[in-house]
Amino acid sequence: MTVTTQTAAETTEAFLGRLGAQDAAGLGELFAEEIDWIVPGDPTLTPWAGKRSRKSDVPEYFRALWAALEPGKSVVAVNAVVTDGNESVVFGAFDHVAAPTRRPFHTDVALRLTVSNGKITRMHLFEDTAATAAAFAG
């Protein structure tokens, strides 16, 4: 019996699809048990920011993030996806409105994903943390 695993490109495509559908549980299924996850920012302003190391952390991250944003007021644009071997980088932009302050913010982003055996083992997000913090600051 042959077991096939998804390539980095296929896993990245699945990640983006589930992200767009706001499928927190489905996103969690794409990750390996142990992960290297970094989302920069000030956790006192943006509680989803920080490091994570377990697959079980992934769904809660997305639920916390989405709960902090005004529903229906987000636009996520994917401008390019570059894949080389087991690495993918997604270039794009996020436009959101912070729910607690109702302030809009924009950030260009780069998202690095590393895939091993069809599972994401690394997710590092690079974004404008100052713009995000300003939107959430009281």
- The per-residue pLDDT string of the chain (138 residues; one tens digit each, 9 = 90 and over) reads 555 578 999 999 999 999 999 999 999 999 999 999 999 999 988 989 999 999 999 999 999 999 999 999 999 999 999 999 999 999 999 999 999 999 999 999 999 999 999 999 999 999 999 999 999 997
**pLDDT digits 0-9 by tens, 29-68:** 999 999 999 999 999 889 899 999 999 999 999 999 999 9
Tokens 């589930």 belong to residue: 18
Query: How far apart, in Å, do the first and last CA atoms of the chain sit?
Result: 58
pLDDT of residue 47: 87
For 8-22, give one letter per residue: b (16+ CB within 10 A) or e. beebbebbbebbeee
Cβ proximity of 113 and 16 under 8 Å: no
Domains of the chain (ranges, CATH numbers): 8-136 (3.10.450.50)
